[in-house]
Structure 1
């Protein structure tokens, strides 16, 4: 098996179905592949609809919500491909996206993980490759402090605003919405750290790839569309108490700092 695609669904059946449709429109050529969908205990009719519309998909039903990392790990446990492709349900591939990434990896044996250029639905380029967080980057991204001089400088560094996104380059880390991974490298590094239920699981994985001397590369020769609905960096202060997403982000940030002893 050449490629295993893993998609984790949690109450996003419409997006997941669109994602699957884009995969079935891929120009696979001679590549062998399998598509694995992990349903993270959605509690709706996602499983029935996916099974009905895409009977060839390997569908795994988790009894509990394992989070993004845990859900992907469950998919990895069933995967047979030499390469693994992690896709969020809100991503769409073009017919040549995956074959292009496969060819890139075959030609670059030191690359353990590669990510494509990502477009917003309005076709503007999305931030998908980053430098490491500073201790305050999440705070700058989530609050008005991002408008301070220090905040703007840190976010400019973090978001790589000085980088030409038409150029391929080794980077610190890649957005986990779409990752094309060498299976050999994943076996050496290990899957996602399930302590990160949501957020920082992608950053942590990339850091571990670097630690094992595998290259992490942004490659704009392949492209996807990502219908990303990130909460504004200007989160009102009271969201720290009322928003589950914001609290989850902060908790994962603290876990990340503790694991890596700061940054």
Structure 2
């Protein structure tokens, strides 16, 4: 495989609700996985960049000191003046990362649990694929262990209605539509080069990818900023890759059980997404 020198890794971690145990577990498991990558010769240097954009007071210096006990690489933490949304917060960190000459950047949520061999596997695949844009792992529920199905096909209004109102899955045709949307017609153990949409909870790419895309579109406050990024990346010629050999646990971000405020953000972001990339009433995916 080609060696594209993905050996200087920066991690962008945006935290809105600082739950010490949750954040600590996520950072600790990431650190173990990065050590495994270094021991495998796939990584030389790593650094964690944290942006806290929550409203509750947090002693960042003290929290960084706690994280440093179990994270064997450098940590830089910053406080946002306001909460401009997930995409805007990550873009602020991406600007700092790009100025520091890191060749690879990982964007992750603070509630993921990273398996030890996840980063070695992802870095190995990324370093051997010059056309790869985003590479994402297999996502499993941390309690039940079932697949979360983070990768998606291009959505339609019908499938998003099913996501908002799960009782609609009683109808076989809509249940089948949701299965296609989540790539359930493919075994989760299969590698897939050419994923249409990637989950923003754990996205690895070379830093020049993030620069070429200009980061996330900050018009999305929450939801669909990762799908918009995926579509724009594909239009620019990048190929998104699903790597099932890398396992990350994540509970999933389904909106059906969220507050009315979150549902409103979801609807607003969906409108922006379809207005920019094209409306679909029923059909999902590019070739379906």
- Normalised by the length of structure 2, the TM-score is 0.83
- Determine the structure 2 residue equivalent to 1:198: 222
- Determine the structure 1 residue equivalent to 2:148: 126
- Determine the structure 1 residue equivalent to 2:263: 246
String of CA shifts for 1:8-59, please: whole Å, max 9, x gaps: 1011333222211112223233521111111113423262442231354110
Task: Give the Cα–Cα distance (whole angstroms) in 1 for the partners of residues 255 and 221 of structure 2.
Answer: 17
> How many Å apart are 1:231 and its aligned residue?
4.1
Task: Give the Cα–Cα distance (whole angstroms) in 1 for the partners of residues 56 and 201 of structure 2.
Answer: 23
Task: Give the Cα–Cα distance (whole angstroms) in 2 for the partners of residues 46 and 114 of structure 1.
Answer: 33
* Distance change in 2, residues 1:231/1:261 (3 Å): closer
Point out the more displaced range, 124-133 or 199-208: 124-133
3, 7, 11: which one aligns with 1:5 = 11
Unaligned runs of 5+ in 2: 1-6, 69-73, 281-288
- Determine the structure 1 residue equivalent to 2:231: 207
Q: Secondary structure at the match of 2:78?
A: strand
89, 110, 113: which one aligns with 2:131 = 110
> How many Å apart are 1:66 and its aligned residue?
2.0
18, 41, 44: which one aligns with 1:31 = 44
Task: Give the Cα–Cα distance (whole angstroms) in 2 for the partners of residues 71 and 216 of structure 1.
Answer: 23
- Determine the structure 2 residue equivalent to 1:147: 170
* Distance change in 2, residues 1:172/1:229 (3 Å): closer
Matches within 5 A, 1:41-120: 41-45=54-58, 47-55=60-68, 56-79=74-97, 80=100, 81-120=102-141
Task: Give the Cα–Cα distance (whole angstroms) in 2 for the partners of residues 99 and 42 of structure 1.
Answer: 35
Aligned length, in residue pairs? 256
Structure 1 contact 8–37 (Cα < 8 Å) conserved: yes
> How many Å apart are 1:202 and its aligned residue?
0.6
String of CA shifts for 1:153-193, please: whole Å, max 9, x gaps: 32122111111110111210111110011212222222011
Task: Give the Cα–Cα distance (whole angstroms) in 1 for the partners of residues 58 and 18 of structure 2.
Answer: 10
Point out the more displaced range, 42-51 or 121-130: 42-51
RMSD of aligned C-alpha atoms?
1.9
String of CA shifts for 1:194-234, please: whole Å, max 9, x gaps: 111111011000001100010001111111111335344xx
Point out the more displaced range, 120-129 or 207-216: 120-129
* Distance change in 2, residues 1:249/1:226 (3 Å): same
String of CA shifts for 1:49-95, please: whole Å, max 9, x gaps: 42231354110110111211111111111113211101101101122
- Normalised by the length of structure 1, the TM-score is 0.90
155, 162, 185: which one aligns with 1:162 = 185
Structure 2 contact 163–255 (Cα < 8 Å) conserved: no
Q: Are positions 1:258 and 2:279 aligned together?
A: no
Unaligned runs of 5+ in 1: none
